[in-house]
Amino acid sequence: MEGVLWQLLASSRGAHNRVRIIQLLDERPRNANELAENLELDYTTVRHHLDVLIENKVITEATEGYGAIFMFTEQSRDHWDVIEQILDTVGETS
């Protein structure tokens, strides 16, 4: 999981936006529309990054359907120290 997190959040295309999403979700669970508004990104862009994070088991949909709420998986919480290290390394702020 550590390597996947580094790839997703520090060294791949789109990492900057995924870091911003992670930071907002760390504050509280949100839906895709809230994330898009807060990040001033297109909804489809946010959905793409959410899908990437879901595929890699970083986040999950806590609810289904329109307005689904996203939150961290237990696997992410188990590796939260790695996520914090990545956030510190890339120096991102929301």
- Model confidence pLDDT, tens digit, residues 18-60: 999 999 999 999 999 999 999 999 999 999 999 999 999 999 9
Q: Looking at residue 72, what is its pLDDT? A: 97
Is 92 a residue whose pLDDT tops 70? no
Q: How far apart are CA 65 and CA 93, in angstroms?
A: 30
What pLDDT is stored for residue 67 in this prediction? 87
Mean pLDDT of 66-74: 93
Measured between alpha carbons, how far is 70 from 64 in angstroms, rounded to an integer? 10
Q: How confident is the model at residue 84 (pLDDT cuts 50, 70, 90)?
A: very high
25, 24, 86: which is closest to 61 by C-alpha? 25
In contact, 42 and 80? CB cutoff 8 Å: no
Residue 91 has pLDDT above 80, yes or no: no
Q: What domains, with CATH codes, occur in the chain?
A: 2-86 (1.10.10.10)
Which pair of tokens denotes residue 79?
A: 């590796």
What's the CA gap between 10 and 50, in Å, rounded? Answer: 16
